Amino acid sequence: MEPQVIRAIQDDYPDEFAWCYGCGRLNEQGHHFRTGWDGDKTVTVYTPRPEHTAIPGFVYGGLIASLIDCHGTGSAALALHRKNGHEPGSWETPPRFVTASLHVDFVKPTPHGVPLVAVGTVTEIHPKKWQVDTEVFANGELCARGQVVAVVMPKTFVQG
């Protein structure tokens, strides 16, 4: 049985930062990835849609990279939010991260039609920079692993 994310960090992102194609809850066309805690690990569960097919029966690698990317930034936000004394649902605005680097290794073809489970381990590199090592499983088997270095988004960030 796959873990479930009851309360995700993305649920608490302010509306102006909830538009990411991968994890933005307000992006109608997006994936709506949701990342939460499972003990001291982070987890995102996502079932690919039919259009995420690489070849019949297998998931497109770009979706897996997107999952690792958004899982990484969400995990970093969870970790810093917890370090600051808060959890998702505390009604405190969580920090928002952007990707500084993304690395993905595809271990084996990822079957389509089953939930993908991304499990992350978060390490603080610097107060504004966090590393998230992620493994992606399908049917309990490791299919991909990745690493995201995420940095805190500047408070002065404005669209322009």
Q: Work out the average pLDDT over 43-65.
A: 97
Q: What one-character-per-residue DSSP string does 48-114 give?
A: PPGGGBSSTTBB-HHHHHHHHHHHHHHHHHHHHHHHTT--TTSSSPPP-EEEEEEEEEE-SPPBSSS
- Contact between residue 48 and residue 56 where contact means Cβ atoms under 8 Å apart: no
Q: Is residue 157 pLDDT above 80, yes or no?
A: no
- Contact between residue 139 and residue 92 where contact means Cβ atoms under 8 Å apart: no
Higher pLDDT, 158 or 126: 126
> What SS3 state is found at 157?
coil
pLDDT band (50, 70, 90) for residue 109: very high
Q: pLDDT at position 49, please?
A: 95
Q: pLDDT at position 52, please?
A: 95
> What SS3 state is found at 38?
strand
Q: pLDDT at position 160, please?
A: 47
**Dihedrals phi, psi of 72, to nearest 5 degrees:** -65, -50
Q: What percent of the chain has pLDDT over 90?
A: 90
Angle among Cα 81, 87, 93 to the nearest 5 degrees reads 60
Q: pLDDT at position 154, please?
A: 81
pTM: 0.94
Spell 47-64 as b/e; 16+ CB within 10 A means b: ebeeebeeeeebbbeebb
Q: What digits encode the pLDDT tens for the residues 118-153?
A: 999 999 999 999 999 999 999 999 999 999 999 999
Q: Is residue 1 pLDDT above 80, yes or no?
A: no
Q: Is residue 2 pLDDT above 90, yes or no?
A: no
Bridging pattern class, strands 141-152 and 129-138: antiparallel
Domains within the chain, CATH numbers bracketed: 7-155 (3.10.129.10)
